[in-house]
Amino acid sequence: MKRKIKNFFKKSANLLYDFRIKKLTPFWKKFSHFLTHNFVLNKQETHLVFFRILKIKITNRRRESLTGYLFILLWLAGFLVFTAYPLVYSFYLTFQKAFFNIQTGINTTSVGFTNYKNVLSDANLLPLFANYLGKVILAVPIIIVFAIIIAVLINQPIKGRGVFRTIFFLPVVISTGPVLGELILQDATSLPSLSESGTVLSIMNKIPGFIAEPVSLLFDSLLMTLWYAGIPILIFLAGLQKINKEIYEAASVDGASPWDTFWKITLPSIKPLISVNVIYVVVSMSLYVEAGGILDLARGHMISGTPDNLFWKGYGYAATIAWIYFLMMVLIMLIFIGLLSIRKRRRY
């Protein structure tokens, strides 16, 4: 029985092999010969001939370029279809009143800057934009400082480094939108002692609303905000481990305290990584979709918009919201990167 099964497999393997050698390979050879020797493209010893007229010499350089393009072809096609064209078209839609109809497709009428004006005077959206701006600007420094502290602590010569690394990277793996939403909803993300203490409440009542709102938003989800530090911690840690240990030894021989070495050696050497992390944190914070948040509203406008609907205003409006959001995001990044580079200039 066993032998029978074995023989069966052997036979079928042999059959497949024969098929490949006798049928497939000659076919492929013919096919590839046809691909390079036809009317459109004719391959000669050192030249490619297109349409019997256009002669191109095959050089190593050209061959390399062609192979390079073949490798990135998938991405290039995808970029043109799913990123470049949609980007241009959605920018065009910001100047249009656009609605989708299953029968007729997209209907657009040009309205100039009306969409921008409407978005920037929308009573629902304005506070959301302000909160987003305040929250991200407040949260980024906190996250970066927290990540640096944790990375430096883990980088000390202690046991159980791996365990702590595992703990601090965990949120990256489990932060699912709905789970985060549920945790924020159930108040699991604020420090309990902080939100209940009287002093904090009285301070919050005294400062003006436009500052207090983002601050309280931040503290309500402080732990969730710290969860964004997962990847920055690892990036800083990798940067710290690249610093030459001898520099620290030399510094300690010269009598530098750990405090000094942190400011004079550690921080300058991980400085380039700060900008990388700022970009990462801003992007990942901005991509989190809150229920009833800006992005959620943009989706609502797009999906539910009809010409005679007063509240949901269609594709053009949604595109405008998304573009303004994106520009704000870029602005925040530029502000932080600008700040980082200014400090650098002053120091040296």
Partner 1 sequence: MFKKLKGFFNKNKIRHFFLGMHFNDGFLYKAVIYLLLIAFSYIYLYPLFFMIVNSLKNIDDLIDPGVNWVPKTLYFDNYKRAFTVLALPKAFFTSSWYVIKVSVLTTFTSALVGYGFARFRFPLKKLFFILMLVTFILPPQVTMVSVILIFRKLGMMSSEATILLPAFLGQGFNSAIYILIFYQFFRTIPRVLDESAQLDGAGPFRVFRSISLPLARPAIIIVFLFSFVWTWNETFVTGLYAGGQITLPLKLQAFAESYATIFPPGTPGAELNEAIKLAGNVLTVLPLLVIYFIFQKWFTESIDRTGITGE
By CB under 8 A, what part of segment 90-149 binds partner 1?
A: 90, 93, 98, 100, 105-106, 149
Q: What is the DSSP string of 127-180?
A: HHHHHHHHHHHHHHHHHHHHHHHHHHHHTSS-S-HHHHHHHHHHHHHH--HHHH
CA distances from 25 to 11, 20, 37, 337 (A): 20, 6, 18, 57
Q: How far is the CB of 121 from partner 1 (least distance, A)?
A: 21
Instruction: State the angle between helix axes of 294-304 and 125-154 in degrees (0 to 180), rounded to the nearest 10.
Output: 140
Q: State yes or no: residue 74 binds partner 1 (CB under 8 A).
A: yes
Nearest C-alpha neighbor of 288 from the set 189, 215, 180 = 180
Amino acid at site 24: L
**Binding-site residue total for partner 1 (CB under 8 A)?**
95
Q: Which of 49, 172, 200, 217 touches partner 1 by CB under 8 A?
A: 172
What's at 86, amino acid-wise?
Answer: P
Q: Report, in Å, the least distance between residue 342 CB and partner 1.
A: 22
Tell me how far apart the alpha carbons of residues 148 and 240 are, in angstroms, rounded to a whole number: 10
Distance CA 281, CA 139 (A): 9
> Could you tell me the smallest distance in angstroms from the CB atom of residue 69 to partner 1?
6
Binding mask 44-63 for partner 1 (x = CB under 8 A): -----------------x--
Binding pattern for the stretch 151-170 against partner 1, x by CB under 8 A and - elsewhere: --xx-xxx---x-xxxxxxx
Which residue of 13, 21, 120, 174 would you call a contact of partner 1, by CB under 8 A? 174
Q: Output the smallest distance, CB 8 to partner 1, in A.
A: 30
300 is a contact residue toward partner 1 (CB under 8 A): no
Please state whether beta strands 47-50 and 54-57 pair in parallel, antiparallel, or not at all (unpaired): antiparallel
| Interface with partner 1 (CB under 8 A), residue from 24, 35, 56, 70 | 70
- Residues forming beta bridges with residue 106, ordered by sequence position: 100
CB 259 to partner 1: min, Å: 10
Q: Which of residues 254-293 bind partner 1 (CB under 8 A)?
A: 257-258, 273, 276, 279, 283, 286-287, 289
| Stretch near partner 1 under the rule CB under 8 A, chosen from 13-21, 27-35, 110-118, 252-260 | 252-260
- Residues between 188 and 247 with contacts to partner 1, criterion CB under 8 A: 188-189, 191, 223-224, 226-227, 231, 234-235, 237-239, 241-242
- Which of 36, 41, 54, 182 binds partner 1 (CB under 8 A)? It is 182
Of residues 216 and 284, the one with the C-beta less far from partner 1: 284
Kind and range of the H or E element at 61? helix 60-79
Confirm if 298 and 326 have CB atoms less than 8 A apart: no
> Among 15, 77, 145, 331, which residue interacts with partner 1 (rule: CB under 8 A)?
77
On whether the CB atoms of residues 94 and 112 are closer than 8 A, the answer is: no
Structure token digits, residue 243: 């610093």
Cβ atoms of residues 120 and 325 within 8 Å: no
Going through 102-203 in order, the beta strands assigned E by DSSP cover: 105-110
Contact call for residue 31 and partner 1 (CB under 8 A): no
